[in-house]
């Protein structure tokens, strides 16, 4: 299906475990983003990518790793999950250009116990 | 650094009344401003954007936004609210410098429309 999809939609993991959230878009958008959404903090940018093999830190990158070997995929890895990383994670993509809007996935609700 | 502020955490209106969700911005250079809506358990959806030109921008679902350069505001409006408009609304500004491509979002405003 066309669009941007995230998997899994829900994930429960234990403290210290590694977990990877997947994001796939079918538009060949240049830019891809990972945000986390927490009550009282709105949306905070974790990492973003301007193109394949180009990534950059956002506002809250600590504890996260990203890669982008293909334009359409942008996985987010929590190397050693902590309870503070319990959140809803959104992936988004957009075309190149400052006048372009972002398209968001449905989100992944991650709980670290 | 570019930023947006949404001064109201919550806006309550009665169905059929006009609604306004406020946003102010701080940018260096020309602003590229966006409004998004988030329904429960969903991702954000694009509503409208201001790039240049007319100060009144029309978007999806009957929403519009008024850009005011002197007041550095970009308020979201709708002439007649519907119960189905109840959602979380985000204002965003797109970076135009070396970090061009990423956006900064406000903290969001929860709109509740009561029947």
pLDDT tens per residue, range B38-61: 998 889 999 999 988 889 999 999
- Measured CB to CB, residues of chain A less than 8 Å from chain B are 30-31, 33, 35, 40-43, 45, 48, 50, 56, 58, 90, 92, 94, 96, 98-99, 101-107
What is the least distance, in Å, from the CA of A59 to any CA of chain B?
Answer: 10
- Identify residues of B whose CB sits under 8 angstroms from chain A CBs: 32, 34, 36, 41-46, 49, 51, 90, 94-96, 99-108
First to last CA, chain A: 33
Distance in angstroms (rounded) separating the CA atoms of residues B107 and B95: 17
- Predicted confidence band at B98 (pLDDT cuts at 50, 70, 90)? low
Residue B101's pLDDT is 76
Query: Is the model's pLDDT at A1 over the cut of 60?
Result: no
* Tokens 């190397």 found at: A79
**Chain A residues near residue B44 by CB distance under 8 angstroms:** 43, 90, 92, 102, 104
- Spatial contact of A79 and A63, defined as CB atoms under 8 Å apart: yes
Angle at B104 between CA A60 and CA B86, to 5 degrees: 110
* Sign of the alpha-carbon torsion through A20, A25, B108, A45: positive
Calpha distance B80→B87 (Å, rounded) = 15
d(CA B112, CA B13): 6
**Angstroms from B13 CA to nearest CA on chain A:** 22
Tell me the mean pLDDT in the region A19-40.
Answer: 94
Q: Which chain A residue has the Cα nearest residue B109?
A: A42
**For chain A, how many residues are written?**
113
**Residue B12: strand, helix, or coil:** strand
- For A56-67, the DSSP string reads EE-S--TTEEE-
Alpha carbon distance A25, B90 (integer Å): 22
Q: Distance between CA B83 and CA B112 in Å, rounded?
A: 8
pLDDT of A65 higher than 90: yes
Residue A39 has a pLDDT of 81
Q: Tell me how far apart the 2 most distant CA atoms of chain A are, in Å.
A: 41
């Amino acid at each position: 299906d066309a669009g941007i999809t995230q998997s899994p939609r829900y994930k429960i993991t234990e403290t210290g475990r590694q977990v990877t959230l997947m994001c796939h878009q079918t538009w060949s958008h240049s830019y891809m983003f990972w945000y986390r959404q927490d009550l009282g903090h709105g949306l905070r940018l974790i990492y973003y990518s301007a193109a394949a093999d180009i990534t950059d830190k956002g506002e809250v990158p600590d504890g996260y790793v990203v890669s982008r070997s293909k334009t359409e995929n942008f996985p987010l890895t929590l190397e050693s999950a902590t309870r503070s990383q319990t959140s809803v994670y959104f992936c988004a993509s957009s075309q190149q250009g400052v006048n372009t809007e972002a398209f968001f996935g449905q989100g992944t609700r991650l709980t670290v116990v | 650094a570019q930023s947006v502020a949404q001064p109201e955490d919550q806006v309550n209106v009665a169905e059929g009344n006009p609604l306004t969700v406020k946003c102010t911005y701080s940018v260096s250079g020309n602003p590229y401003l966006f409004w998004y809506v988030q329904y429960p358990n969903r991702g954000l959806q694009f509503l409208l954007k201001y790039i240049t030109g007319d100060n009144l921008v029309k978007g999806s679902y009957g929403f519009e936004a008024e850009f005011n350069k002197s007041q550095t505001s970009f308020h979201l409006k709708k002439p007649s609210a519907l119960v189905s408009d109840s959602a979380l609304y985000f204002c965003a500004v797109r970076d135009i410098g070396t970090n061009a491509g990423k956006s900064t979002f406000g903290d969001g405003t929860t709109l509740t429309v009561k029947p």
